[in-house]
Chains A and B, each alone.
Chain A
Amino acid sequence: MASPVSVYNSNNLDSHIPNSPRDSLKMELLADVTLLPGEDRIIDKDIIYICPFNGAVKGKVLITNFRVYFKSSDADVTVTLDVPLGAISRVEKMGGASSRGENSYGLEITCKDMRNLRFALKQEGHSRRDIFELLFRHAFPLSHAQPLFAYSTQEKYPDNGWNVYKPVEEFRRQGLPNNKWRITFINKNYDLCDTYPTVLAVPFKSKEEDLRRVAAFRSRGRIPVLSWIHRENQAVIVRCSQPLVGMSGKRNRDDERYLDLIREANETTKLTIYDARPSVNAVANKATGGGYEGDEYQNAELIFLDIQNIHVMRESLKKLKDIVYPNVEESHWLSSLESTHWLEHVKLVLSGAIQVADKVSSGSSVVVHCSDGWDRTAQLTSLAMLMLDSHFRTLRGFQVLIEKEWISFGHKFASRIGHGDKNHADQDRSPIFVQFIDCVWQMTKQFPTAFEFNEHLLLTILDHLYSCRFGTFLYNCESARDQHEVRLKTVSLWSLVNSKMELYLNPFYTPESGRVLYPVASMRHLELWVTYYIRWNPRIRQQQSPVEQRYKELLALRDEYLKKLEQLQLSGSSTSSHLTNSSAPNPSSSPSQQYTHLQTPL
């Protein structure tokens, strides 16, 4: 070899993974793909994958009704791609029959998960026509009157994830109903609000007809309902949409009285209404009939949280993608990252949630809304609940949190993600849920022992946000899910997760019930989630596998420890008390609550 290899020497991008040559490689190229039950082969083809890291790689592509799979045939380079069709946002033809230059004729696939794929084909004989058309049809089944893969899969799991969340059970866990809050089934046919769930918790004193009158004054009938109640001080988090104030500044006495009932329930002196929007946007919304609560709401204060709308978030993430894929920005990385504003948006969402949580834990009830109450509102309520309630920081509890605050309350997953839909430029698409998961990741980084689940769970959730393999994230709201019989005809993502829980557990989890977590929402303490946003770049990837392996061992060690501990305690041996003291979670010796510096600029 002439000179030292590569990585630290130049921009030379060779980092091929050597592979022992196999004669029959080409034959069995696709033999090791394990298809899912219900997954069918559509087409396979010789193709060239234009890998942004390894250059052009010859191989074979397989398209099924679930995925695009590629495997290289060169003996010395192993490149495998396994992309669910659901992750595809756009398929385009690249070059034409007369394009010059090597590998200039083929397909370009834009993905929803921070990567793009380029394939080259032979120019002769319209070789891409069939693959393009088949890919287009199967990647966007809803645009072709075809079912999503979740309806074709035959997967079976021992655990049924659809049983994870039962609204009444969750309310009961929170101590509801009680003498201040009641459970109502007024929306059982979705006629009060077609984007809300059927089971709602409302002030005990409010009557059904009050609810209907309030619904008339709230955008899309999304009335204020309880999301969470603090066990000790009975302060609540209530969510809703904006009031329909309009240009003329309409008032609605029922709405005003209803909010006052919320305040009265735990004798909060002043009800705090958090409007997630920047105030200018809230004002502008009056022009389209919306608005915000004015001075007529006595005993209430309104605070704007300055979180930008779905369009700003979409553009921000797009900018981030531009600097991390296919090439990572090298020379001015930090200032480029800054100019995407992604971390700043994350900061604002987190600090909004911190304010909500802080207010509630100090005993005051809060109302949270944005415009429709299904994007920023969901982020704020769910993050605040994650800070306040340690149950949501367990593996099961986190599933409940997502099922409750996001899925059942009508975050428009179908519109925001565009499942199976070919309109890649749809203005309704936005990475609001990704941003939420990012915020959760930031919290797990700041509190490494406070969450029962690990980063792998967050990655899995985001993968299946797009994959369309499970019914969990399909459709915009419960009424649509009922209509399409999601629970009957598809599998829940939580079935997969809960059937192999050990993959998603954090070995260092130390349960501490009652502890409120206040993350620090300062730019200095936030990090870009590199292992998600830049995970496709093999050069940025850090040594994950030995760490995961070690964590698995630790998990086993911990379980063994807990088992032995239990035995010792059962046998009443004298050592047991010693062991309990030194290792079991001990709230008094552990770091005290982080009294947050609520210095975030508002």
Chain B
Amino acid sequence: MEFSEHIKTANVEDVELRQPLHPPSRGTLCITGHHLLFSDREEGSSRQVLLLLRNIDAIEKSVENLLGYTSFFSHAGHSERTSGSSGTITIKCKDLRVLQLDIPGMEQCLNIAHSIETLSCLDNVSEMYPFFYRPTDLNPQSHRGLSAMETYYGQTKELHERWRLSSVNRAYSVCPSYPPAVIVPNSTDDDVLKRVAKFRQGGRFPVLCYYHRKNGMVIMRSSQPLTGANRKRCKEDELLLQAVIDGSDKGYIIDTRSSQQVQQARITGGGFESKSFYDRWKRLHRQMEKGKALQESLIKLVEACSDESHNMDRWLSKLENSKWLSHVQTALSTAGLLAECVERDGHSALVHGSEGTDCSLLISTLAQLIMDPCCRTLEGFLGLLEREWVEAGHPFQQRCAHSAYSHARLQQESPVFLLLLDCVWQLWRQFPLALGFSEALLLRLATEVYASDYGTFLCNSDQERSALGVKENTYCLFRALLRPTERDIYLNPLYEPTELAIWPSVHPQSLQLWKGFFLRWTQQTRHLEEVQEEIRNMVIEWGKLALS
């Protein structure tokens, strides 16, 4: 391991730790290749804080050299120190926690800060902690298990008549960001797929992601067609989409860009499905923000939430100005529109934006939650995330490299997955009985996606994960969450399955700030978490006795 070269000071005694919800404590700080470990030095209290360095988004340090002035400036509690210099490191985490460490000795403080800065953003995936994490009660992911998409195909027998599992991408040669197995129309052979892939950005040709049992309609997703400035066509692409709707009179294309944006996209080689060549398909445009705009929105929101000033007069305005809730609103209403196309209007739909790795996944996931009761159980939801995010090639590593506190220049960061979790929370709040999982699950995922012991959210695609042997060498978060010891925490005690679609209200009056996440480190939120826990235990206890 080469981590040691980044660690000049591994241990510091007599460090004071200040963190939310706890009184300050004094103890030993230790830096390892992946962790920051703080142990309370009080006898009898074995309190430890173990923080993944990966979780650290930003650090701020301030040192003061009081050498020679100690006699004048010795404040209580500091007097025992031998050196007069000290420093404070403020650690801002991706889970929005803020910690402060008072470290005696300027040099030690700078060393520690330097180690954290370097080790918290190592780029080399195979050096990351999931490759070292060895839980005792889990087996490693099996090498040759079925993918989530294959499992879905296997479970959805109704699909088999008209749809097939294609392994055209088995070597990731057709689409680097797709998994090896995808679901496509029976009538479309692999050669056609290869040609379609050339006509779609990043090779993301239309694949099935959801089959609606009630009426046999499907949701497809892809990237934009590469029509370009001179309106190129691709016969195979047209035929594939024709095969999707088969005999039906039409389908919908939900483009997550505005009609203006898609015109502009043509200049850079992208484009859209024009009416004249895809005459059975009706395009609907819904402009969704992603990328930088979304990241900046998150930054503003977190800034407003962590504003410690007592002057809260402008809180609601600040909340509004961050635009986060309007992104939530757009995502939910676009997903609602997609679900309406399929469930109410009875037609199949294709979703894409430009790359098809962000907003498309967001709204196809939400639409499935709205329509399909199977996705609303704990297992169903985790399966959905595996299919629609992990396997479908959401670039987690790029999107979640940094969060709201980072000072680093923005690159590919964008909190699309966090936005998904927020939208799911809104559904959960509006339909307290309909989802089988709890808020605790969403909170856990919101943390794990940025920094994790598990390999699930590593890399940007299946191909990258396979090249690094992520499956063989790390443990799977989703399986860990389903362990009997953990599972209970993530179940919704009020769950009552319904076959009905759950149509969210998307008026701003119906949407709320997800306080459980954004105000997580406040006393009030902690209290409500504990109350949820209490209620869960209560309901379980009543149920037990009623059964006995």
Contact = CB atoms under 8 A, between A and B. Distances in A.
A547 interface: yes
Contacts of A523: 312-313, 315-316
A590 interface: yes
Interface string B502-536: 11011111101001000100111001101100110
A508 interface: yes
Given A4-B340, A4-B345, A525-B524, A328 B538 contact: no
B319 interface: yes
6 contacts: A8-B333, A333-B508, A335-B317, A508-B538, A523-B316, A547-B432
A101 interface: no
B541 A591 contact: no
The 3 A-B residue pairs with the shortest CB-CB distance, nearest first, are A333-B508, A8-B336, A334-B320
Nearest to A508: B535
A579 B545 contact: yes
A343 B546 CA distance: 43
Nearest to B532: A448
Contacts of A187: none
Given A337-B316, A540-B509, A448 B334 contact: no
Given A8-B337, A542-B430, A333 B510 contact: no
B512 A527 contact: yes
A542 B340 contact: no
Nearest to A575: B548
Contact of B531 (A4, A329, A448): A448
Contact of A332 (B320, B347, B543): B320
A540 B507 CA distance: 7
Contacts of A530: 509-510
A493 B337 CA distance: 45
A299 B345 CA distance: 75
A565 interface: yes
A449 interface: yes
A561 interface: yes
Contact of B541 (A1, A534, A582): A582
Given A4-B345, A583-B538, A344 B546 contact: no
A546 B433 contact: yes
Interface residues of B, number: 60
Given A334-B320, A523-B316, A524-B315, A558 B542 contact: yes
A447 B340 CA distance: 37
B317 A334 contact: yes
Interface string A549-563: 010001001101100
A1 B250 CA distance: 11
Contact of A542 (B284, B510, B528): B510
Contacts, number: 154
B449 to A, nearest CB: 25
Given A8-B336, A539-B507, A560-B546, A335 B433 contact: no
B214 interface: no
B535 A448 contact: yes
Given A328-B509, A546-B433, A446 B310 contact: no
A344 B528 CA distance: 22
A594 B531 CA distance: 13
A9 to B, nearest CB: 6
A600 B312 CA distance: 9
A335 B325 CA distance: 13
Contacts of A344: 313
A591 B531 contact: yes
A18 interface: no
Given A448-B535, A564-B545, A579-B545, 4 more contacts: A330-B508, A539-B505, A583-B538, A591-B530
Interface in A560-602: 560-561, 564-565, 579, 582-583, 590-591, 594-595, 597, 599-601
B230 interface: no
A335 B320 contact: yes
Given A446-B524, A447-B531, A449-B534, A334 B507 contact: no
A522 B312 contact: yes
A47 interface: no
A595 B341 CA distance: 51
B539 interface: yes
Given A447-B531, A590-B534, A524 B314 contact: no
A543 B430 contact: yes
B528 A599 contact: no
A480 to B, nearest CB: 39
A451 to B, nearest CB: 12
Contacts of B305: 524
B498 interface: yes
A556 to B, nearest CB: 9
Contacts of B124: none
B494 interface: yes
A520 B524 CA distance: 7
B224 to A, nearest CB: 22
A520 B525 CA distance: 10
A599 B311 CA distance: 10
A338 B317 CA distance: 7
Contacts of A1: 345
A186 B313 CA distance: 47
B282 interface: yes
Contact of A449 (B341, B522, B531): B531
Contacts of A42: none
Contact of B340 (A9, A449, A522): A9
B172 to A, nearest CB: 36
A520 B522 CA distance: 10
Contacts of A332: 320
B345 A561 contact: no
Interface in B232-284: 252, 282, 284
Contacts of A534: 509
A343 B325 CA distance: 19
B160 interface: no
B80 interface: no
Give the most central of A4, A7, A542, A546: most B CB within 10 Å. A4
B542 A561 contact: yes
B324 to A, nearest CB: 11
Interface in A441-475: 446-449
B282 to A, nearest CB: 7
A546 B545 CA distance: 24
Give the most central of B282, B528, B548: most A CB within 10 Å. B528
A489 to B, nearest CB: 42
B22 to A, nearest CB: 13
A324 interface: yes
Interface string B284-324: 10000000000000000000010000111111110110000
A488 interface: no
Given A547-B433, A561-B546, A5 B340 contact: yes
A153 B312 CA distance: 49
Interface in A166-183: none
A510 interface: yes
A594 B508 contact: no
Interface in A403-456: 446-449
A528 interface: yes
Nearest to A597: B523
Interface string A518-538: 001011110110100010000
Interface string A208-226: 0000000000000000000
A447 B507 CA distance: 26
A152 B412 CA distance: 71
B503 A338 contact: no
A583 B537 CA distance: 8
Interface string A319-343: 0000010001110111101100001
Contact of B431 (A329, A335, A522, A543): A543
A546 B340 contact: no
A447 B432 CA distance: 17
Nearest to B530: A591
Given A449-B531, A527-B512, A547-B432, A7 B340 contact: yes
Nearest to B512: A527
Contacts of A20: none
